[in-house]
C-alpha cells in the first residue's frame, strides 16, 4: 500500500491506501497504542478526510502485532476530578469518540494483541472486527477504580449480552479471540500474519460495491440497536425503496439480467 501524503503531519497515526481502501494504523508503539487526546483528535481528523473522499470506499483501522490499543492513556486521566471529567477537556475527548462510530462509510478493525479498555471500545465502534488468533479483548477499568466510559457497558452488552458483559466489566478479565467469536463480538479469527490481508480483502470487496447501497445497509443495521422492530423495518423498507432511484440499481439489475459483471 502507498502512503497518503496529505496526512504525513499526523504524530500518532500512519495512513496508506490501496485503490479505494484506506489503512489507518495507530502508531504509539512505546505506549502499546494507548489512546490519548492527540491520537483521538488525529483519528477524528483522518476519518473526516476519509469520509469526504469519494475515491475511498472503506477504511481499515489497525495497531501493531502486540496491541491494537491497550486502553486510554492513564497518565492523562489519573489527576482528573469529577468536575474536570464532566465539564473539562476530557468530556470533549469522549465526545470525539462518538464521531468515530457515526461515520457513514464502513470501518473494519483489524485486531492483533491487546484490545483493552478504550481499545476494545474503539474496535466496537467499527462495523466489522477481524481478529488475529493472538487477540485479547477486555474492559479492565474496574482494576483502576473506574468503569468503561466510551461504550464499554453499552456496545459490549448489545454485542455479547448482559451476562457476558457483566462478567467482563465486573471482573476485568480478558477474553481471547475464540471466546470473542463464540459470543458474537468479532466477525472472524485468522492467523496473526493474515489479519491485515484478510481485512484488506474484505475492505476491497466492500469498497467495490455500490456506495449508496453500502451506506444504506450500514445505516439500517446500526439503527437496529436503537429502534423498535417496527421502526427498524420501516427504515429498512424506505431505504430499500430509495435505492431504486439510483444508477447503481439500474446497472446492477441490468447486468444480472444480461449475465455480465456490473460496472458500478
Q: pLDDT tens-digit profile of 34-70?
A: 999 899 999 999 999 999 999 999 999 999 999 999 9
Closest C-alpha among 121, 99, 84, 113 to residue 43: 99
pLDDT in tens, 215-241: 999 999 999 988 999 999 999 999 999
Are 64 and 152 contained in the same domain? yes
Q: Note the pLDDT of residue 230.
A: 97
Q: Note the pLDDT of residue 6.
A: 45
Would you say residue 3 has pLDDT above 70? no
CA dihedral in degrees (218, 224, 225, 228; nearest 10)? 150
- Quote the DSSP letter at residue 75: G
Are 36 and 148 contained in the same domain? yes
Range of the domain at 93: 2-207
Are 11 and 45 contained in the same domain? yes
Total Cβ atoms within 10 A of residue 260: 9
Rounded distance between C-alpha atoms, residue 119 and residue 140, angstroms:
11
Are 139 and 243 contained in the same domain? no
Closest C-alpha among 7, 200, 31 to residue 110: 200
Grid cell 481502501 — which residue?
Answer: 21
Domain for residue 264, yes or no?
Answer: no
Number of domains in the chain: 2
* Global pTM value: 0.92
Are 239 and 176 contained in the same domain? no
Q: Where are the alpha helices (DSSP H) in 102-224?
A: 118-125, 155-160, 162-171, 177-182, 195-207, 211-223
Q: Note the pLDDT of residue 96.
A: 76
Are 194 and 236 contained in the same domain? no
- End-to-end CA distance of the chain: give it in Å, rounded: 23
pLDDT class of 92 with cuts at 50, 70, 90: low
CATH classification of the domain holding 121: 3.90.226.10
Are 136 and 245 contained in the same domain? no
Boundary (domain end) residue, out of 190, 207, 224:
207
CATH classification of the domain holding 250: 1.10.12
Amino acid at each position: 500500500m502507498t502512503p497518503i501524503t496529505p496526512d504525513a503531519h499526523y504524530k500518532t497515526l500512519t495512513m496508506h491506501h490501496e485503490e479505494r481502501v484506506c489503512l489507518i494504523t495507530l502508531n504509539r508503539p512505546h505506549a502499546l497504542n494507548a489512546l490519548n487526546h492527540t491520537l483521538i483528535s488525529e483519528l477524528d481528523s483522518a476519518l473526516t478526510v476519509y469520509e469526504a473522499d469519494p475515491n475511498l470506499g472503506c477504511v481499515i483501522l489497525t495497531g501493531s502485532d502486540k496491541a491494537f490499543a491497550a486502553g486510554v492513556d492513564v497518565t492523562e486521566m489519573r489527576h482528573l476530578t469529577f468536575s474536570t471529567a464532566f465539564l473539562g477537556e476530557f468530556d470533549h475527548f469522549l465526545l470525539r469518540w462518538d464521531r468515530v462510530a457515526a461515520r457513514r462509510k464502513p470501518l473494519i478493525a483489524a485486531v492483533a494483541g491487546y484490545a483493552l479498555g478504550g481499545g476494545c471500545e474503539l474496535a466496537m465502534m467499527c462495523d466489522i472486527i477481524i481478529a488475529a488468533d493472538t487477540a485479547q479483548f477486555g474492559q479492565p477499568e474496574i482494576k483502576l477504580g473506574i468503569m468503561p466510559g466510551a461504550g464499554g457497558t453499552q456496545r459490549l452488552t448489545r454485542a455479547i449480552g448482559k451476562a457476558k458483559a457483566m462478567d467482563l466489566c465486573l471482573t476485568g478479565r480478558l477474553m481471547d479471540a475464540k471466546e470473542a467469536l463464540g459470543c458474537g463480538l468479532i466477525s472472524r479469527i485468522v492467523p496473526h500474519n493474515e489479519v491485515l490481508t484478510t481485512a484488506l480483502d474484505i475492505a476491497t470487496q466492500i469498497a467495490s460495491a455500490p456506495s449508496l447501497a453500502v451506506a444504506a445497509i450500514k445505516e439500517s443495521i446500526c439503527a437496529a440497536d436503537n429502534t423498535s422492530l417496527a421502526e427498524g423495518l420501516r427504515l429498512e423498507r424506505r431505504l430499500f425503496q430509495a435505492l431504486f432511484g439510483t444508477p447503481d440499481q439500474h446497472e446492477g439489475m441490468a447486468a444480472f439480467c444480461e449475465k455480465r459483471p456490473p460496472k458500478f
